């Protein structure tokens, strides 16, 4: 089993693309704003890609994945291809804008693909139908292997998403999670990684010992997780390039868990339990030197760095039930930020820095929520028997989490929701799945 990162050349189609900018738009470019209000999905058109030689099924499949990505956000609605009046004859052909206006499409995505041996080349342009011109900068060309075609489709969709929303992209990303099998009282768990949409699953460990709560490094090349491989819970570092595993911070008589990378990837913040008491520690990955960050008789766990590395949010039950605190990255008592009802735990700092996602347990229900980093403007996004463990999309607009159903036949599955509580949906996985962690955007 291998996990190889495919080299992926990305280049702007400089010449051909920049020229149309001479034609100035009469109106401001078509945009969709992500916000609190109810959003009517923007109608768009994504015809099958132009086959520029040897593409075969890829011409249709690429368009299908682009459609799935964009429609999957809840922000866009791809118009049924049967309704298209114009046919895209060639990648450089003139656009019959009126034909797309008639079917009320606001955006047209034109792609082309050619294949030679194992290599494929994908080109794309996105057109602003209302303004009758290409979106500025919305053109790209990629080359890669045939096996990586889905990544190219995600890159295309990312370009369209970024162009239309002004937000960072997130489709070309992966999710590591725990694949589960077996009954509730004898659950088997192993690490798996997949594309953000559930495709291309690869298993990283076998089921011989419990594995929990994996997390990606900021560059996406390594994982941290908790493993019972030694017989006791230990934080473990896994290198995705060669699947080599290394147990970290081994100290007899202690349990280590809840690891997370620092934003520079050079150290790990985690929980260490000794004699029943759990505190937060930090360890340098290069020197192995360990530093204690909290020192209290209560449980301090689930640490997560702010993106600038200056602060750490964590949960503590020092006042009774778990609540969320923020401390300096060098440690300390921290300041409580959660003040809503119930217990608040598993805080995770948004990659945008603006919000903290968390799990709330209140009145027998679990919720995924977000709050500002000072604890204000709490919004609960979900509710169920058991929702927990949020993870952020690379652009900080979508949260994936674990949902587990009730009772003896209860099963865990992965779900996602946007930061306004819209577009709740299950991520398809082969079997039961838990503890998702989103990668950074792939290069």
Partner 1 sequence: MSFTPKALLLVASLGLAACQNPDRYGAGGADGMGGTGGTGGTGYIDTNGLGDPNDPRSIAYFNQTVGDRVLFAVDQNTVSDQGRQVLNGQANWLNQNPGYAIIIEGHADEQGTREYNLALGARRAASVQQYLLSQGVAGSRMRTISYGKERPIEVCSTESCYSKNRRAVTVLSVGAGS
* 404 binds partner 1, rule: CB under 8 A: yes
* 180 binds partner 1, rule: CB under 8 A: no
Beta bridge partners of 356: 349, 371
CB of 431 to partner 1, least distance (A): 16
* Residue whose tokens read 């699947």: 243
State which H helix or E strand residue 61 sits in: helix 58-71
By beta-carbon proximity to partner 1, the closer residue of 200 and 295 is: 295
* 277 binds partner 1, rule: CB under 8 A: yes
- Tell me which DSSP letter residue 19 carries: G
245-247 sheet: strands from edge to edge: 211-216, 222-227, 234-239, 245-247
Paired sense of beta strands 267-274 and 254-261, if any: antiparallel
Region of residue 323 (phi > 0: left; psi between -120 and 50: alpha; otherwise: beta): beta
CB of 398 to partner 1, least distance (A): 20
Main-chain phi, psi angles of 185, to 5 degrees? -95, 10
Question: CB within 8 A of 353, min separation 6: which ones?
Answer: 306, 307, 308, 373
* 70 binds partner 1, rule: CB under 8 A: no
Residues 374-393 that bind partner 1 (CB under 8 A): 385-386, 388-389
CB of 173 to partner 1, least distance (A): 23
For residues 408 and 270, what is the distance between their CA atoms, to the nearest angstrom? 32
Q: How many CB atoms neighbour CB 175 within 10 A?
A: 26
* 246 binds partner 1, rule: CB under 8 A: no
Segment contacting partner 1 (CB under 8 A): 139-147, 150-158, 402-410, 420-428? 402-410
By beta-carbon proximity to partner 1, the closer residue of 50 and 414 is: 414
* 345 binds partner 1, rule: CB under 8 A: yes
Cβ atoms of 356 and 324 within 8 Å: the answer is: yes
* 17 binds partner 1, rule: CB under 8 A: no
Cβ atoms of 78 and 71 within 8 Å: the answer is: yes
CB of 375 to partner 1, least distance (A): 18
* 365 binds partner 1, rule: CB under 8 A: no
By beta-carbon proximity to partner 1, the closer residue of 117 and 231 is: 231
Question: End-to-end alpha-carbon separation of the chain, Å?
Answer: 22
* 15 binds partner 1, rule: CB under 8 A: no
C-alpha angle 423/429/430, rounded to 5°? 155
* 406 binds partner 1, rule: CB under 8 A: yes
For residues 375 and 355, what is the distance between their CA atoms, to the nearest angstrom? 9
Residues 297-336 that bind partner 1 (CB under 8 A): 299, 301-302, 315, 317, 321-322
Cβ atoms of 280 and 291 within 8 Å: the answer is: no
* 296 binds partner 1, rule: CB under 8 A: no
Cβ atoms of 223 and 216 within 8 Å: the answer is: yes
* 420 binds partner 1, rule: CB under 8 A: no
Q: How many CB atoms neighbour CB 116 within 10 A?
A: 11
* 182 binds partner 1, rule: CB under 8 A: yes
CB of 344 to partner 1, least distance (A): 10
Tokens found for residue 378:
């709490």
* 250 binds partner 1, rule: CB under 8 A: yes
Query: x/- contact string, 190-229, with partner 1 (CB under 8 A)?
Result: ------------------x-x-xx------------x---
CB of 216 to partner 1, least distance (A): 17
CB of 374 to partner 1, least distance (A): 22
Residues that bind partner 1 (CB under 8 A): 182-188, 208, 210, 212-213, 226, 230-233, 249-253, 255, 257-258, 271, 273, 275-278, 289-292, 299, 301-302, 315, 317, 321-322, 345-346, 359, 361, 385-386, 388-389, 404, 406-408, 410, 435
């Amino acid at each position: 089993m291998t996990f190889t990162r495919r080299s992926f050349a990305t280049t702007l189609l400089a010449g051909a693309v920049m020229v149309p900018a001479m034609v100035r738009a009469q109106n401001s470019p078509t945009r969709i704003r992500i916000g609190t209000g109810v959003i009517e999905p923007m109608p768009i058109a994504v015809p099958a890609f132009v086959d520029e030689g040897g593409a075969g099924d890829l011409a249709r499949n690429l368009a299908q994945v682009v459609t799935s990505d964009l429609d999957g956000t809840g922000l866009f609605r791809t118009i049924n291809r049967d309704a298209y009046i114009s046919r895209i004859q060639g990648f450089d052909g003139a656009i019959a804008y009126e034909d797309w206006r008639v079917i009320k499409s606001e955006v047209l995505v034109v792609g082309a693909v050619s294949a030679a041996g194992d290599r494929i080349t994908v080109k794309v342009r996105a057109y602003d139908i209302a303004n009758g011109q290409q979106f500025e900068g919305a053109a790209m060309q990629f080359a890669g292997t045939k096996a990586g075609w889905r990544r190219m489709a995600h890159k295309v969709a990312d370009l369209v998403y970024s162009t239309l929303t002004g937000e960072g992209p997130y489709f070309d990303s992966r999710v590591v999670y725990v694949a589960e099998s077996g009954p509730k009282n004898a659950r088997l768990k192993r690490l798996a990684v997949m594309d953000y949409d559930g495709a291309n699953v690869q298993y990283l460990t076998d089921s011989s010992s419990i594995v929990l709560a994996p997390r990606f490094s900021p560059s996406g090349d390594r994982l941290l997780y908790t493993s019972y491989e030694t017989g006791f819970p230990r934080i473990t570092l896994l290198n995705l390039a060669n699947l080599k595993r290394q147990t970290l911070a081994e100290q007899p008589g202690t349990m280590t868990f809840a690891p997370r990378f620092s934003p520079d990837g050079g150290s790990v913040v985690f929980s260490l339990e000794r004699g029943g008491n759990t505190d937060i520690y930090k360890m340098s990955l290069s020197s192995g030197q360990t530093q204690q960050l909290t020192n209290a008789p209560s449980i301090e766990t689930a640490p997560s760095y702010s993106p600038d590395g200056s602060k750490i949010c964590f949960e503590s039950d020092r006042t009774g039930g778990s609540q969320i605190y923020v401390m300096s990255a060098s440690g300390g008592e921290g300041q409580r930020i959660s003040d809503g009802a119930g217990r608040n735990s598993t805080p995770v700092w948004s990659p945008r820095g603006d919000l903290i996602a968390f799990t709330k347990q209140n009145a027998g229900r679990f919720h995924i929520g977000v709050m500002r980093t000072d604890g204000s403007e709490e919004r609960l996004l979900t509710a169920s028997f058991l929702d927990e463990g949020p993870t952020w999309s690379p652009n900080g607009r979508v949260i994936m989490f674990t949902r587990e159903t009730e009772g003896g036949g209860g099963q865990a599955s992965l779900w996602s929701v946007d930061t306004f509580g819209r577009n709740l949906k299950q991520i398809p996985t082969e079997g039961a799945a838990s503890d998702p962690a989103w990668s950074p955007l792939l290069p």
